[in-house]
Each structure stands twice: as structure tokens, then as C-alpha cells.
Amino acid sequence: MLIFWIGAFITFFLDRITKFWVLKWEGNFCSLTSFLNLVKVWNKGIVLGFFSESGIILQFLLIVTGLGVLIVAYLWAKKSDKFTKGALGMLSGGGLGNLTDRVLYFAVLDFIDLHLMGYHWPAFNLADVGITLSIVILFIKLFNKN
């Protein structure tokens, strides 16, 4: 399970340290490149900001659901190979990072703002990156069974 814990720790640590930095930052917008900005956005909803006007009941349900997902990921990892353990560790670290925000602030801090060729992706954070990469890795593993 060492690879699980390493993946979880690195993802969680990078997420928390970058969010700490963004919270200390006094600005709300900074253009870094022609396609990357830093923004300070509080997401009270779920993926892509859906249901952001739903209130405290949704926040409670998201916290409970997040805890459930973390438990399932841990139990799954205990029975998995190292590759899957690492991916589930990243998923857990990212999930715990966003869950920490929900418990502390009742919202998730997003700050990475990408846009390219007229397409603008909603702001996200490093926990989201860890979660997304872990899902991609798990799909690759699922469809590449040789």
C-alpha cells in the first residue's frame, strides 16, 4: 500500500500548498501566459460548478459522498496491483484535498484558468488534476488488460 499512500500524500500536499498560496495572494486575477491565468474562484457546486446555488444540504451530501468515495478507493486499492494503487492514491489525495475545502469553507477553491483557441475551460485546482489523471490511468488499465 506504500504506492497508494505516496500518491495520496503527493497529490494532497501539492493541492494544499498551492491553495494556501492562492489564499494568501491578495489578487483575484493574474494573466500568466496567452492561455493560462490564475483566478480565485470558490466553487460551491460539484463538477464544473453545477448545483452551486443548492446550499448547505448539498454541501453536507458532498462531504458524506466524498468520504464514501475515499473509503471505497482505499478498500479497492488494498486488493489491487501497484499501478492501480498509485492511481487510487492520487484519486484519494485529490478527493481529500477538495473535501478539506468543503469542510473548512463549504466550497472548493479553484484557481487554474485555461483558455485556448476560443475555448475556455472552467477554473480547477491541483486536486482536480490528480483526480482526472487517476481516472485516465484507471481507464487505460481497464481497457489495456494484456
> What confidence tens digit (pLDDT) does each residue in 46-99 have?
665 555 556 677 777 777 888 898 899 999 999 999 999 999 999 999 999 999
Q: How far apart are the first and last CA of the chain?
A: 23
Task: Give the model's pLDDT for residue 49.
Answer: 56
Task: Please name the residues in contact with 40: beta carbons below 8 A apart, sequence gap of 6 or more.
Answer: 22, 25, 27, 28, 29, 109, 111
What is the grid cell recorded at 19?
491553495
Residue at 86: amino acid letter: G
Q: Considering 15, 101, 113, 128, which one is annotated as catalytic?
A: 128
Q: Considering 15, 101, 110, 113, which one is annotated as catalytic?
A: 110
Whether residue 94 lies inside any domain: the answer is yes
Whether residue 132 lies inside any domain: the answer is yes
- Could you give the number of structural domains in the chain? 1
Is 110 noted as a catalytic residue in this protein? yes
Range of the domain at 93: 2-20+39-138
Is 81 noted as a catalytic residue in this protein? no
Whether residue 74 lies inside any domain: the answer is yes
Task: Give the model's pLDDT for residue 66.
Answer: 82
What CA–CA distance (Å, rounded) separates 7 from 36?
Answer: 26
